[in-house]
Amino acid sequence: MPTIALSQVRKTYPGSSTDAVRSLDLEIADGEFMCLLGPSGCGKTTTLRMIAGLENLSAGELRIGDRVVDSAVEATFVPPEDRKLGLVFQSYALWPHLTIERNTDFGLRLRKVPKAERIKRTDDVMRALGIEQYRDRYPSQLSGGQQQRVALARMLAVSPGVLLLDEPLSNLDARLRLEMRAELKRIHGKFGTTIVFVTHDQWEAMTLATTIAVMNDGVIQQMGTPDDIYERPANRFVAEFVGSPPINLIEQNANTPIAAAIASYLDGRLHDVGAVALTGIRPEAIVLHTDAKDVPQDSFNLRAVIEGVLPTGGSWIVEVRAGGQLLFMTTHVAPTLSAGDDVTMVVEPAAFHLFDTDGQRMLNADKALGHSAG
């Protein structure tokens, strides 16, 4: 199945002064599981709807395979019904007046698939998703998770090459969500479908995607594998948005002891990389030592005081104050510490994320700090 390519795509809704999406470049390869991740209002759903053809572009070009399906310059617009995609809505949008079976075989009937084959394909997909026992029920008689499966089955029945999913799991409870994630991953493997998945939930994106595109303000901030995104955030926004508890950010220009300590630590290791404006340290990269003798040689270390210990069930979040700033760290080992204890916090050099004055990642610093290449 073809690649989806958006180039220089802009979308402004009528009557709105700001762009929902601006100059978006995005390529989705065949068989990819692509997540569009971002806060609400970042333009991810708009992007999905433009791919589906439910919104048109204000500028730019959208191709599916070798075919331009939407371009203002070429005055081309292929309507959604001719794009042969699948789309699952956040609200599922099942047709309330049709049974589960009729919901599922709607697309096959439209395509005038011969009856025998239609029945077979409908049965297959309903069985695959475990909804065959509900075939004669109506959507309102099903639970949220079951409705979700029907919404998926409805689209999978016509085996589209591309499946678009708009936050399909956000209305499910935690357990069902986990199950459906596994289900989606299975479908992706089994049907070989290209999947474009919109979500604001970073765990969902991390666990499902082969590629994540992080969006904000109508612009793609970073595109890469889940590891890329987490380990090498391209800019301040991505660093802050991905990760929970969030990354610890230290403003190097703020006149704090911690900023000075980091600056002097980095000084010896970095040469000619430019001014560092911001340093980020992931919570799990901080290690606490009660005995200063245990502190490894080459690492960054700083005296710190415990402010609080918050159990989260199986792991702990520890708040420490170091060099005038409150930092979060996480640990999976039960801490023996309590508020008020003095400790030394230790960070490996490779765990530092450096950003320049524009908030962009300083790539030339990564090597010097021992970051593995992306």
- Positions touching another protein (CB under 8 A) are 8, 10, 14, 22-23, 25, 52-54, 56, 59-60, 72-73, 75-77, 79-87, 89, 91, 93-98, 106-107, 110-111, 151, 154-155, 158, 219-224, 228, 232, 234, 360-361, 363, 374
> CB 232 → another protein: shortest distance, Å?
8
CB–CB of 322/345 below 8 Å?
yes
Cβ nearer to another protein, comparing 214 with 345 = 214
b/e 256-286 (16+ beta carbons within 10 angstroms → b)? bebbebbeebbeeebeebeebbbbbbbbebb
**Which residue number, 97 or 271, has a Cβ lying nearer to another protein?**
97
Residue with tokens 């589209």: 160
Residue 374 Cβ, how far from another protein at the closest point, in Å? 6
CB of 148 or CB of 222, closer to another protein:
222
How far apart CA 103 and CA 127 sit, in angstroms, is 15
98 vs 249, beta carbon nearer another protein: 98
* Strand partners of residue 278: 251, 355
* Shortest Å, Cβ 174 to another protein: 25
Rounded to the nearest whole angstrom, what is the least distance from the CB of residue 93 to another protein in the complex?
A: 4
Q: Where are the beta strands (DSSP E) in the chain?
A: 4-11, 21-28, 33-37, 59-64, 67-71, 76-77, 86-88, 162-166, 194-199, 211-216, 219-224, 248-251, 278-281, 286-289, 300-311, 316-322, 325-331, 342-347, 352-355
| Distance in Å, CB of 124 to another protein, minimum | 17
Closer CB to another protein, 87 or 278, in the complex: 87
